[in-house]
Amino acid sequence: MPPAEPEPPISQIPPTPHTLLAPQAPEGAGSPRARPCVLAALAERGAVITAEWAPTAGRILLGVVFLWFGYHELLEPAQWTQYIPVISESSSLAVIAVLAHGWVLFVLAAALLAGVAPRVAAAIASLLMLEIVIALAATGLSDTALRDVGVLGLAVCLTGCKNQRLVLRN
């Protein structure tokens, strides 16, 4: 076997994104040349933590939104009947539909917050949000409909997240 070639000195190594942030000489951690390396390491660690916890934060926040609206639909169903496009808002059928919708939101919120089958809960939440967006679009585009498109996007994204933290059951 031929002898291994010696490594070139640091000054002869062409710069790459990794070597540009690394100190050129072994200096102390407090030196100005070492600071970019420390900042890059901190930024990388922050990115890793964000990637690990973002689906969990999204799931919990979606659960809070569903809990809020489910609670209010159960508490004051008459305030929500105007959003049902095909039923008269003064009918008892509209109130029953809002109460049923409120319970579905409430149960989905509990599943999302507790982490019980989070991908299944997110998939059902996606379908529910699609129904809401279609119903709102039937009455005309509004700020509310566009906001709900964003919530729909979050639910769809959470449907594809396999690794989440703080779950009781995947």
Instruction: For CA atoms 84, 127, 107, 136, give the dihedral sign.
Output: negative
Mean predicted confidence (pLDDT) in 40-63: 90
Over the stretch 1-49, which tens digit does the pLDDT of each residue have?
556 565 555 445 455 444 444 444 455 555 555 567 888 888 899 888 8
Q: Is the pLDDT of residue 71 over 60?
A: yes
Q: Is the pLDDT of residue 139 over 50?
A: yes
Residue 89: HSE in the Cβ half-sphere, 13 Å Cα cutoff: 9
Q: Which residue has the higher pLDDT, 77 or 87?
A: 77
Over the stretch 79-113, which tens digit does the pLDDT of each residue have?
999 888 888 989 999 999 999 999 999 999 999 99
Judge if pTM exceeds 0.75. Answer: no
State residue 3's pLDDT score. 60
Q: Is the pLDDT of residue 135 over 50?
A: yes
Q: Which residue has the higher pLDDT, 144 or 102?
A: 102
Give the integer Cα–Cα distance in Å for 138 and 120: 27
Asked whether the beta carbons of 115 and 167 are under 8 A apart, the reply is: yes
Give the integer Cα–Cα distance in Å for 12 and 33: 18
Mean pLDDT, the chain, whole residue set: 83
Give the integer Cα–Cα distance in Å for 115 and 118: 5
State residue 32's pLDDT score. 57
Q: Which residue has the higher pLDDT, 89 or 168?
A: 89
Strand partners, 116: 169
Q: Pull the structure tokens for residue 111.
A: 């599943």
Residue 57: which pLDDT band, with cuts at 50, 70 and 90? very high
